[in-house]
Structure 1
């Protein structure tokens, strides 16, 4: 499920990047289908992380706590419900239509080859033109996403949780673009860029998982209902973890900021 969610995000990132180079509306049915799939995958992943990572970390520190065990049971029940909803969607017609649209688009488009019947030397020249155009296009995309990432990280020490979430999205978009166009540039420079963005994204993801967990607790009525005690434990754990991770986020961003724009 996690890999499917990543694949959906990568596909939508590719659509966003290449949309200006394709016929208007050519990718709309696919993008709509991917968006609908993402809406099902997101909540399922959130409950999986909450049940499989956040709560076990607290249980390790407080083994045998009955009130935490009660909350764990409620979380597992909600997790299974979302998994069932996702499974039903994947077995349905809407998901099958997405597969058909993807297959049709891949089979019907000819952007990867010169026109049929083109002579060999002319075909080679056409491929070279496409490669040059792609390199220019890729460098413009990378530069734009790099500038937006640096802008989002200004005064990073003072950024609140929503601003750090926006920074995480900028880092993710820059990384996806770098991975997509890595073969056009020096392998070592591109991989260094990708690795540092991945580390920044990972550390920002800790804060995001905490914010999501807080939202899920509210869904369960944990703030003032029968799970209030366990919700308090989790809130304290998440607050402490966020405090510890912030300096590491700043250091990771500074390492990203010092990178050279290898595509220029």
Structure 2
């Protein structure tokens, strides 16, 4: 008889499962498969967010939400989510976002600075204060995901998807487009996304944080589209494309984290005068490093530009 004492463990955060689309699928069937994949990722991370306030579970739930909203944007010319549901999605994103921002500051940005500078003393109380903000906001996120409002949102999305609720508000031309082959639709989406990214990317040199943010959003949307439709194309075509996009997005994300950190540190300074010196030191450090990633970013951009969107 097994008498070993067993302790509950924190559930592992769940990333998106591999999505398999058939070239024979029509647009409507492919949309349902993509949305189901996104909803599965969101729902799989509920326990980690509610019971354990797990940092990575929250992150993966947010990724699932971003993927879902990106999918809705890709298909919005042929079907549309009701306005009320879009507003509820916006509410959920707003409940989860602040905790993630403070997680990055407390768990990534500040530890990286502490590891690279000698003046540790003023950083410690700032990091503790940031961790406290993150913990408090995890409680807010957990309350939102445990709420009846969240359950209603997920339930309505599930029913809208299963019952193909978009059909009630469609024009005849939209119904025809929903029956077209997903391969043709995907090709048009990927080409459109890549053109938008290339247009914004031309302004990367000497770009300010806002311009870099716009490139990051375009790279993210292009990457999600490529991942959604990856099974429709040869791996040797898709994998280098997605890998290059991921590297570009990651570097832009690090730059964006530094920009966001400045605003969060200002909030800490305003709330507690004892943190002003430490916050000012960190903000100065981040400002001084502001241009150091430009060289790497340009290299990543040059690596991406020769690649063509799968199609």
Q: TM-score, normalised by structure 1?
A: 0.84
Q: What residue is the counterpart of 1:133 in the other structure?
A: 181
Select between 88-97 and 227-236 the one with higher mean Cα deviation. Answer: 227-236
Return the offset for 1:145: 0.8
Query: 8 Å contact 2:223–2:242 — kept in the other structure?
Result: yes
Q: What residue is the counterpart of 2:294 in the other structure?
A: 246
Query: 8 Å contact 2:196–2:218 — kept in the other structure?
Result: yes
- Structure 2 distance, partners of 1:18, 1:102, is 16
Sort the Cα spacing of 1:89 and 1:228 in 2 relative to 1 into closer, same or farther, 3 A. Answer: same
Return the offset for 1:90: 1.2
SS in 2 for 1:158: coil
Give the aligned CA root-mean-square deviation in angstroms.
2.4
Return the offset for 1:2: 0.2
**Partner of residue 277 from structure 2, selected from 209, 220, 229:** 229
Check if 1:35 corresponds to 2:83.
no
Sort the Cα spacing of 1:103 and 1:80 in 2 relative to 1 into closer, same or farther, 3 A. Answer: same
Return the offset for 1:69: 1.9
Query: 8 Å contact 2:78–2:178 — kept in the other structure?
Result: no
Return the offset for 1:223: 11
- Structure 2 distance, partners of 1:159, 1:26, is 35
Deviations 1:85-127 (A, max 9, x none): 111111112111111012212321399xxxxxxxxxxxxxxxx
SS in 2 for 1:243: coil
Q: What residue is the counterpart of 1:121 in the other structure?
A: none
Query: 8 Å contact 1:5–1:38 — kept in the other structure?
Result: yes
Q: How many residues align?
A: 244
Q: What residue is the counterpart of 1:115 in the other structure?
A: none
Q: TM-score, normalised by structure 2?
A: 0.72
Q: What residue is the counterpart of 1:220 in the other structure?
A: 268
Query: 8 Å contact 1:217–1:223 — kept in the other structure?
Result: no
Return the offset for 1:130: 7.1
Return the offset for 1:152: 0.2
- Structure 2 distance, partners of 1:194, 1:12, is 19
Query: 8 Å contact 1:223–1:232 — kept in the other structure?
Result: no
- Structure 2 distance, partners of 1:35, 1:48, is 20
Check if 1:97 corresponds to 2:152.
yes
- Structure 2 distance, partners of 1:26, 1:231, is 43
- Structure 2 distance, partners of 1:62, 1:143, is 44
Q: What residue is the counterpart of 1:77 in the other structure?
A: 132
Select between 188-197 and 29-38 the one with higher mean Cα deviation. Answer: 29-38
Q: What residue is the counterpart of 1:8 in the other structure?
A: 65
Return the offset for 1:224: 9.8
Q: Which has the higher helix share?
A: 1
Return the offset for 1:170: 0.5
- Structure 1 distance, partners of 2:95, 2:207, is 30
Check if 1:54 corresponds to 2:109.
yes
Q: What residue is the counterpart of 1:207 in the other structure?
A: 255
Select between 57-66 and 38-47 the one with higher mean Cα deviation. Answer: 57-66
SS in 2 for 1:260: coil
Superposed counterparts of 1:67-216, under 5 Å: 67-109=122-164, 133-216=181-264
Query: 8 Å contact 1:217–1:231 — kept in the other structure?
Result: yes
Q: What residue is the counterpart of 1:123 in the other structure?
A: none
Sort the Cα spacing of 1:146 and 1:223 in 2 relative to 1 into closer, same or farther, 3 A. Answer: farther
Query: 8 Å contact 2:203–2:211 — kept in the other structure?
Result: no
Query: 8 Å contact 1:152–1:166 — kept in the other structure?
Result: yes
SS in 2 for 1:20: coil
